[in-house]
A = this chain, B = another copy of it.
Amino acid sequence: MKMDDISKILKARKIVVDKALNEILPKQVAAPKKLHKAMRYSVFSGGKRIRPILAIESCFCCGGKIRDVLRAACAIELVHTFSLIHDDLPSMDDDDYRRGKWTCHKKFDEATAILAGDGLLSLAFETLTTGGDSGIKVKLIRELTASTGSMGMIGGQCVDIEYDGRKKLPSILNYINLRKTGALIKAALKIGAIAAGADSKKIKTMGEFGKSIGGAFQIIDDILDNGDSVRGFGKEGAYKKARFLTEKAKDSLSIFSGKAGNLRAIADYLVERKI
């Protein structure tokens, strides 16, 4: 697939996700207004919606429809936004800007930013309690909570903060990357398959694909902002590693044959991206 074609698909999916997020989030006029304004500000601050799009494509690949996966896809983006707000806080990465806009605690204040993150995390799981089959909903919530929690993304952030400014051994760097970025990307792929009602083999395969592209995604992020992977492997070495992981990811999709075309194209897109 050409890069132009996949860009068009990503844009179309983003519109669908943004519309659903707008419906899921409490209105800006709903009390407490300041809190809902902050939650909305951060969710609509220019995210590319990669994680929800991966969930949607995974669901399609497993034979599901958009209505099976859309709320779960949005829940993943809410968790992602929660993590960005809290990671940016003064006691963590202390960032003033994200995607060229004020971070939540700069635009509002620190207490509001902490609570906006908390509110988004709670809303993510609430979103997963409506629509569809109860058995599937429980599985989706289990997957998303486990990948978010202290053994997943939140745990990765904790270790990242602990090693801030210190040289990280490859094992530590791997631990952080697998959790801080990898866990939610892997979960997105599995969630798409679970939402489609796929069997455990397909769910597992999507998890493997997600783990590999999650690793590649983090390396490319590091290349773009001169992060840990570049310091560890050099820029060329890092690119080589990201491309290797992308090929590995695409190979893991063989059981889906032609149906996985979009997922393979997104894997290529993510490793070639410049932002």
Contact = CB atoms under 8 A, between A and B. Distances in A.
A35 interface: yes
Contact of A119 (B30, B89, B149): B149
Contacts of A112: 158, 161
Interface string A109-124: 1111011011101110
B142 A138 contact: no
A4 to B, nearest CB: 39
Given A111-B91, A134-B137, A158-B35, A26 B125 contact: no
B155 A119 contact: yes
Contacts of A251: none
Interface in A71-130: 82, 86, 89, 91-92, 109-112, 114-115, 117-119, 121-123, 125-126, 128-130
A129 B154 contact: no
Interface string A32-51: 10111001000000000000
A31 interface: yes
Contacts of A125: 125, 141, 145
